[in-house]
């Protein structure tokens, strides 16, 4: 299961992480986010060398503003605590996996 992030644990789990972390910014009312949820959970199982986490934008608006998340779902890939890629919108598992794999 994807790790749930909040403003309280973001630095510990993402900014201070040494490896690759994919953060999915989502909301429970967002149709495309609901479509992506099973895809994200499949990646959790398939990409064990990557931390995959989620931020509920309704509950963590400060993080959304900090990373300029204007639409959801938005995915931000962090490597060594730094954002290295950001993209928005629903996509298939293979496309998402390929995008993440470029940074592993």
Per the annotation, the verdict on 33 as an active-site residue is yes
Question: Hunting for tokens 């630095």 — which residue is that?
Answer: 11
Please say whether the beta carbons of 5 and 56 come within 8 A: no
- Strand pairing of 74-79 and 20-26? antiparallel
Please tell me which residue in 5, 14, 23, 33 is annotated as part of the active site.
Answer: 33
Q: Which of 14, 30, 52, 76 is catalytic?
A: 30
Active-site residue 100, yes or no?
A: no
Query: CB under 8 Å to 16, separation ≥6 — which residues?
Result: 81
Active-site residue set: 30, 33
């Amino acid at each position: 299961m994807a790790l749930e992030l909040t403003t309280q644990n973001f630095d510990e789990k993402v900014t201070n992480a040494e490896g690759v972390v994919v953060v999915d910014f989502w909301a429970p009312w967002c149709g495309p986010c609901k479509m992506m949820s099973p895809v994200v959970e499949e990646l959790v199982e398939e990409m064990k060398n990557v931390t995959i986490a989620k931020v509920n934008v309704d509950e963590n608006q400060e993080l959304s503003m900090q990373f300029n998340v204007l639409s959801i779902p938005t995915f931000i890939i962090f490597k060594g605590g730094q954002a290295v890629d950001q993209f928005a919108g629903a996509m298939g598992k293979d496309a998402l996996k390929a995008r993440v794999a470029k940074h592993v």
